[in-house]
């Protein structure tokens, strides 16, 4: 039985007058954050397709192409993140149909590929080279294309793609070319993102605008069940069912410059260092001193509707979920509304009792995470008003939600989420402030929050100055077997986030826990080669944290403390290393305390020689379940 090989990847297509190979390679480099297990291109040269593909990164593909160039002015390309099945040359995309004339790249999962494959085999098609679901789709399109009549080969390819997709159960963002049909490409999406870039005498397809923004800032964000036929100078979008639709061309918010590393060695460091600006951008124009509250017009809710909210659900995955966990404390503190935080992957499959007047927020940097999108759809299906907190403008979650708040953090390329996290924290604070000021929060308290928010960018600059100190600390701990992270209240989720950053880019074992949980089991792990990092600012629970720190110290566990205010003095004899951040009101401290943890993970990963921006086995945008 063939191995099931699905993918969660990046695709780029080009039809124009320039050589396709450099454009496709450059686009793939921009999408490498989506997956980096294998890569490939199919470029049409005259009447045949030149395929180059291999396991490994885009650099390996570029080397292959430099050794064996592929000429031609239209083609498709792919960078893969494998979920099941081997990472090898055969499973790399593109894939051909049985005739070798149709080439296809795919981002998604064809769930019924086995049944489709058996049907093709029964009809005599046995020429499969890979284990992939994608190759089955290429064969299916080819088989239908062969059966269709008519001289208009473009219409035949469109109709064959349409007919094949109607048989597919699963998700896809695809690009298809046929070597007999010059300068023509078909794209379609369902469940996986796909954007059309509109250029001058050239058009593009990509999983994400960052792949094409160097060539055009005019984009059409395709919807699920859209199919696009593109040529150099025109495109036509219709639905999989055949209905022709209207689509607006949008201006991409950022430029090619914004997605360059500049002088930074890694995107992650660049993005950590951008946080004073991104936090400022997250609140820009959203605070009002007159009423001491926040203005969030994108929520699309009237004051009576906001006042009527009786329960809030925050959902997301990974770092976005951790932001939600801080949001739980924040919104309950500021607005006194019960908040639940749900793993998107669990929430979407759970039978949660319906409670009226519930407002659901789906938090996602990319706006494309499959589990979060699934949670959003399930929540809307059940009738809840569901809002998005997204960074990527026009992403699927942003478009499918009833309203929301954009982060305006700019492109985040490093696989480890950093600046999006602090933007999410600011936005959740604004939501808490808005809901709070409609309830019990006084004008004075509202003003205090606004003052504290406005001071944050300057304080972040101060924290960033600690980078060298944190680098020296990282060097001291380069031989440890792992790290434990502890915090209380607003900083318990920061312990979770610190541990996630540490494990994902250093590959060290790391866990985050509420400080008080130590004595309920975790303390058994404490030993000299396993440092404990306490996030213990000078807040209402500092003395409680100090008790837990004493317990670790008594068992010879090394301690690194992130603290503020009087904390440093009290920790002097307890912690081996003290990282001191500026003092801030307790509910905003996570915005400052998380940055040293991002930097600690970063510097340790560099010391360990890890691939910081593309950690092993990971991808930035997780578009499979
Ligand atoms: O794009 P999203 O915010 O929906 O992504 C969610 C997670 O996949 C993401 O935060 C992941 O955990 C990061 N790699 C963590 O650094």
Q: Return the ligand 1 atom nearest residue 392 CA.
A: 1
- Opening angle at CA 34, ends 251 and 326, nearest 5: 85
Task: Read off the tokens for 506.
Answer: 């250093």
* Measured distance CA(144)–CA(141) in Å, rounded: 5
How many Cβ atoms sit within 10 Å of the Cβ of residue 155?
A: 12
| Residue 115 in this model has a pLDDT that exceeds 70 | yes
Residue 224's domain spans which residues? 10-258
Q: Whose CA is nearest to atom 4 of ligand 1?
A: 364
Q: How far is the CA of 264 from the centre of ligand 1 (A)?
A: 22
Is there a single domain that holds both residue 341 and residue 446? yes
Q: Which of 202, 234, 258 is where one domain is finished?
A: 258
pLDDT of the residue at 83:
60
- What are 28-38's pLDDT values in tens digits? 999 987 888 89
Q: Return the ligand 1 atom nearest residue 420 CA.
A: 3
SS3 state of residue 28: helix
SS3 state of residue 227: strand
Q: Which of 432, 465, 498 is where one domain is finished?
A: 465
Is there a single domain that holds both residue 24 and residue 66? yes
- What are 556-578's pLDDT values in tens digits? 999 999 999 999 999 999 999 99
SS3 state of residue 434: helix
Residue 2 is assigned to a structural domain of this protein: no
pLDDT of the residue at 11:
96
Is there a single domain that holds both residue 513 and residue 554? yes
Q: Return the ligand 1 atom nearest residue 366 CA.
A: 1
Residue 352 is assigned to a structural domain of this protein: yes
Is there a single domain that holds both residue 246 and residue 131? yes
Instruction: Provide the b/e sequence for 443-470 (b: ≥16 CB within 10 Å).
Output: eebbeebbebbeebbebbeebbebbeeb
Residue 453 is assigned to a structural domain of this protein: yes
Q: How far is the CA of 316 from the centre of ligand 1 (A)?
A: 8
- What are 180-209's pLDDT values in tens digits? 999 999 999 998 889 999 999 999 999 999
CATH number for position 226: 3.60.20.10
Q: Return the ligand 1 atom nearest residue 418 CA.
A: 16
Mutation choice for ligand 1 from 396, 404, 622, CB with most ligand atoms inside 8 A: 622
> Which residue's entry shows tokens 């001191």?
580
Q: Are β-strands 218-221 and 250-251 bridged in parallel, bridged antiparallel, or unpaired?
A: antiparallel
| 579 touches 563 (CB < 8 A) | yes
- What are 40-72's pLDDT values in tens digits? 999 999 889 999 999 999 999 999 999 999 999
Is there a single domain that holds both residue 354 and residue 440? yes
Residue 373 is assigned to a structural domain of this protein: yes
Q: How far is the CA of 319 from the centre of ligand 1 (A)?
A: 5
Residues 6+ apart with CB under 8 A from 86: 3, 5, 131
Task: State the pTM of this model.
Answer: 0.86
pLDDT of the residue at 3:
33
Q: Is 54 a catalytic residue?
A: no
Residue 318 is assigned to a structural domain of this protein: yes
Q: How far does the chain reach from its first CA to its final CA, in angstroms?
A: 23
Is there a single domain that holds both residue 248 and residue 297? no
Q: Whose CA is nearest to atom 8 of ligand 1?
A: 318
- What are 393-444's pLDDT values in tens digits? 888 999 999 999 999 999 999 999 999 999 999 999 999 999 999 999 999 9
Q: Whose CA is nearest to atom 11 of ligand 1?
A: 318
- Tally the domains of the chain: 3
Indicate which residue of 270, 501, 614, 620 is catalytic: 620
How many Cβ atoms sit within 10 Å of the Cβ of residue 49?
A: 23
Is there a single domain that holds both residue 458 and residue 480? no
**Region 462-479: what's the mean pLDDT?**
98
**Which has the closest alpha carbon to 531: 571, 575, 491?**
575
| Residue 606 in this model has a pLDDT that exceeds 50 | yes
* Measured distance CA(502)–CA(509) in Å, rounded: 8
Residue 555 banded pLDDT, cuts 50, 70, 90: very high
| Residue 7 in this model has a pLDDT that exceeds 60 | no
What is the number of alpha carbons within 13 Å of residue 273 lying toward its C-beta? 15
Q: Return the ligand 1 atom nearest residue 319 CA.
A: 10
Q: How far is the CA of 415 from the centre of ligand 1 (A)?
A: 8
Is there a single domain that holds both residue 203 and residue 266? no
**Which has the closest alpha carbon to 233: 76, 72, 77, 15?**
15
Length of the chain: 625
- Opening angle at CA 339, ends 362 and 589, nearest 5: 85
Residue 583 is assigned to a structural domain of this protein: yes
Q: Whose CA is nearest to atom 16 of ligand 1?
A: 416
* Measured distance CA(456)–CA(488) in Å, rounded: 21
DSSP run (H or E) holding 308: none
Q: Is 292 a catalytic residue?
A: no
Is there a single domain that holds both residue 135 and residue 108? yes
Q: Whose CA is nearest to atom 7 of ligand 1?
A: 318
CATH number for position 359: 3.40.50.10490
- What are 263-303's pLDDT values in tens digits? 999 999 999 999 999 999 999 999 999 999 999 999 999 99
Distances (CA, A) of 111 to 131, 239, 598, 621: 13, 21, 38, 20
Residues linked to residue 110 through DSSP beta bridges, in sequence order: 170
Q: How far is the CA of 568 from the centre of ligand 1 (A)?
A: 32
- What are 493-515's pLDDT values in tens digits? 999 999 999 999 999 999 999 99
Q: How far is the CA of 279 from the centre of ligand 1 (A)?
A: 18
Note if the bond before 94 is cis, omega within 30 degrees.
yes
Which residues does ligand 1 sit against, CB inside 6 Å? Answer: 316-320, 364-366, 369, 372, 415-417, 500, 504, 621-622
Q: Return the ligand 1 atom nearest residue 501 CA.
A: 16
Is there a single domain that holds both residue 243 and residue 265? no
Angle separating helix axes 492-506 and 318-335, nearest 10 degrees: 170
Residue 441 is assigned to a structural domain of this protein: yes
Q: How far is the CA of 506 from the centre of ligand 1 (A)?
A: 16
Q: Which of 419, 450, 465 is where one domain is finished?
A: 465
Residue 4 is assigned to a structural domain of this protein: no
Indicate which residue of 9, 273, 317, 390 is catalytic: 9
Q: What are the percentages of helix, strand and coil residues in the chain, rounded to 5?
A: 40, 25, 35
Residues 6+ apart with CB under 8 A from 272: 418, 419, 464, 595, 598, 599, 602
* Measured distance CA(287)–CA(14) in Å, rounded: 43
| Residue 1 in this model has a pLDDT that exceeds 70 | no
Task: Read off the tokens for 74.
Answer: 């239209």
Q: Whose CA is nearest to atom 12 of ligand 1?
A: 318
* Measured distance CA(217)–CA(204) in Å, rounded: 11
Q: How far is the CA of 370 from the centre of ligand 1 (A)?
A: 11
Q: Whose CA is nearest to atom 10 of ligand 1?
A: 319
| 241 touches 233 (CB < 8 A) | no
* Measured distance CA(154)–CA(160) in Å, rounded: 10
Q: Is the dihedral of CA 476, 479, 481, 482 positive or negative?
A: positive
Is there a single domain that holds both residue 304 and residue 157? no
Q: Are β-strands 195-198 and 203-206 bridged in parallel, bridged antiparallel, or unpaired?
A: antiparallel
- Residue 315 burial class via C-beta count within 10 angstroms: exposed 0-12, middle 13-18, buried 19 and up: buried
DSSP run (H or E) holding 529: none
Is there a single domain that holds both residue 450 and residue 470? no
* Measured distance CA(22)–CA(39) in Å, rounded: 14
């Amino acid at each position: 039985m063939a191995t099931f090989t699905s993918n969660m990847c990046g695709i780029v297509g080009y039809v124009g007058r320039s050589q396709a190979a450099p454009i496709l390679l450059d686009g793939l480099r921009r999408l490498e954050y989506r997956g980096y297990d294998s890569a490939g291109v199919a470029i049409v040269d005259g009447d045949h397709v030149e395929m180059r593909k291999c396991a490994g990164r885009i650099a390996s593909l570029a080397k292959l192409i430099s050794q064996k160039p592929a000429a031609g002015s239209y083609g498709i390309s792919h960078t893969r993140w494998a979920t099941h099945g081997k990472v090898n040359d055969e499973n790399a995309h593109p894939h051909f149909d049985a005739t070798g004339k149709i080439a296809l790249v795919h981002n998604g999962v064809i769930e019924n590929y086995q049944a489709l494959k058996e049907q093709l085999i029964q009809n005599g098609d046995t020429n499969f080279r890979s284990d992939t679901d994608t190759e089955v789709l290429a064969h299916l399109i080819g088989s239908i294309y062969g059966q269709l009549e008519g001289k208009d080969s473009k219409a035949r390819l469109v109709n064959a793609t349409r007919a094949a997709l109607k048989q597919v159960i699963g998700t896809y963002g695809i690009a298809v070319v046929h070597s007999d049909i010059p300068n023509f490409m078909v794209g379609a999406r369902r469940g996986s993102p796909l954007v059309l870039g509109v250029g001058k005498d050239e058009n593009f397809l990509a999983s994400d605008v960052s792949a094409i923004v160097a060539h055009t800032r005019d984009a059409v964000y395709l919807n699920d069940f859209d199919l696009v036929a593109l040529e150099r100078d025109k495109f036509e979008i219709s639905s999989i069912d055949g209905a022709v639709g209207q689509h607006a061309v949008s201006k991409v918010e950022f430029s090619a410059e914004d997605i360059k590393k500049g002088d930074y060695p890694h995107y992650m460091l660049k993005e950590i260092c951008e946080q004073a600006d991104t936090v400022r951008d997250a609140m820009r124009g959203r605070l009002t001193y007159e009423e001491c509250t926040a203005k969030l017009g994108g929520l699309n809710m009237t004051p009576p509707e906001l006042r009527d909210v009786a329960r809030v659900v925050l959902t997301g995955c990974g770092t976005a979920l951790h932001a939600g966990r801080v949001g739980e404390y924040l919104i309950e503190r500021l607005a006194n509304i019960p908040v639940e935080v749900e793993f998107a992957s669990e929430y979407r499959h759970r039978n949660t009792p319906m409670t009226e007047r519930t407002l659901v927020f789906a938090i996602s940097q990319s706006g494309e995470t499959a589990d979060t999108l699934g949670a959003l759809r399930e929540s809307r299906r059940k009738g809840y008003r569901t809002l998005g907190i997204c960074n990527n403008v026009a992403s699927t979650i942003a478009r499918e939600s009833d309203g929301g708040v954009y982060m305006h953090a700019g492109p985040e390329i490093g696989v480890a989420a950093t600046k999006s996290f602090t933007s999410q924290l600011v936005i959740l604070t604004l939501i808490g402030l808005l809901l709070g000021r409609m309830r019990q929060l006084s004008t004075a308290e509202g003003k205090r929050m606004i003052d504290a928010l406005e001071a944050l960018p300057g304080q972040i600059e101060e924290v960033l100055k600690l980078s060298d100190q944190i680098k020296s600390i990282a060097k001291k701990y380069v031989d440890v077997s792992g790290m434990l992270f502890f915090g209380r209240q607003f900083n318990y989720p920061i312990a979770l986030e610190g541990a996630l950053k540490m494990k994902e880019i250093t590959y060290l074992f790391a866990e985050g826990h509420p400080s008080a949980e130590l004595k309920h089991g975790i303390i058994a792990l404490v030993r000299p080669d396993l440092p404990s990092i306490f996030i213990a600012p000078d807040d209402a629970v500092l003395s409680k944290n100090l008790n837990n720190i004493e317990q670790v110290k008594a068992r010879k566990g090394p301690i690194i403390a992130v603290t503020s205010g009087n904390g440093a003095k009290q920790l002097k004899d307890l912690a081996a290393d003290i990282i001191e951040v500026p003092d801030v009101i307790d509910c905003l401290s996570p915005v400052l305390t998380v940055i040293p943890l991002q930097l600690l993970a970063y510097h340790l990963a560099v010391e360990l020689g890890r691939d910081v921006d593309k950690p092993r086995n990971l991808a930035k945008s997780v578009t499979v379940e």
